Amino acid sequence: LRWSAGSGWHDGRLEPYGPFTLDPATAVFHYGQEIFEGMKAYRQAGGSIALFRPEANAARFNRSARRMAMPEIDEETFLHALELLVTQDGAWVPEGIGNSLYLRPMMIATQRGLGFTHPSDSYLFCVIACPATAYFGAAPRALTVWLSEEYTRAAPGGTGFAKAGGNYGGAFVAGRLAAERGCDQVVWLDSAERRWVEEMGGMNMFFVYAPAGARPRLMTPALTGTLLPGITRDSVLTLAALLGFDAEEGRISTDQWREECASGALTEAFACGTAAVMASIGTVRGVDGQWRIGAGLPGPVTGRLRDELLGIQYGTRPDPFGWVHKVC
Ligand code: PMP
Q: Give residues with Cβ within 8 angstroms of 117, minimum separation 6.
A: none
What backbone phi and psi angles, to 5 degrees, belong to 247?
Answer: -140, 135
Q: Tens of pLDDT along 202-234?
A: 999 999 999 999 999 999 999 999 999 999 999
CATH classification of 142-313, choosing from 3.20.10.10, 3.40.718.10, 1.10.10.60, 3.40.50.410?
3.20.10.10
Q: Tens of pLDDT along 142-179?
A: 999 999 999 999 999 999 999 999 999 999 999 999 99
Mean pLDDT value across residues 282-310: 95
Give me the CATH topology for the region 2-132.
Answer: D-amino Acid Aminotransferase; Chain A, domain 1 (3.30.470)
pLDDT value at residue 197: 98
DSSP β-ladder status, 142-148 and 185-189:
parallel
pLDDT at 24 over 80: yes
Whose CA is closest to atom 4 on ligand 1? 202
Cα(28) to centroid of ligand 1, in Å? 22
Burial per residue of 45-73, b for 16 or more beta-carbon CB atoms within 10 angstroms, e otherwise:
eeeebbbbbbebbbebbbbbbebbebbbb
ipTM over 0.95: yes
Instruction: Name the residue ranges covered by the structural domains of the chain.
Output: 2-132, 142-313
Under a CB-based contact definition with an 8 Å cutoff, are residues 281 and 291 in contact? no
pLDDT at 136 over 80: no
The two domains 2-132 and 142-313 share their CATH topology (first three levels equal): no
Q: Which of 228, 286, 240 is nearest to 261 (CA)?
A: 286
Please give the sequence-ordered ranges of beta strands (E in DSSP) within 114-230, or none if there are none: 122-132, 142-148, 185-189, 197-200, 204-209, 217-221
Regarding the beta carbon of 111 and ligand 1, being less than 6 Å apart is answered no
Regarding the beta carbon of 199 and ligand 1, being less than 6 Å apart is answered yes
Q: Give residues with Cβ within 8 angstroms of 198, minimum separation 6.
A: 153, 154, 187, 188, 189, 190, 221, 224, 226, 227
Cα(87) to centroid of ligand 1, in Å? 25
145: left (phi > 0), else alpha (psi -120 to 50), else beta? Answer: beta
Which amino acid appears at position 38 of this protein?
G
Regarding the beta carbon of 231 and ligand 1, being less than 6 Å apart is answered yes
186: confidence class by pLDDT, cuts 50, 70, 90 = very high
Q: How far apart are the first and last CA of the chain?
A: 22
Mean pLDDT value across residues 319-323: 98
Please give the sequence-ordered ranges of beta strands (E in DSSP) within 64-201, or none if there are none: 100-109, 122-132, 142-148, 185-189, 197-200
The overall pTM is greater than 0.90:
yes
The closest-lying atom of ligand 1 relative to the alpha carbon of residue 275 is 16
135: confidence class by pLDDT, cuts 50, 70, 90 = confident
181: confidence class by pLDDT, cuts 50, 70, 90 = very high
Cα(237) to centroid of ligand 1, in Å? 15
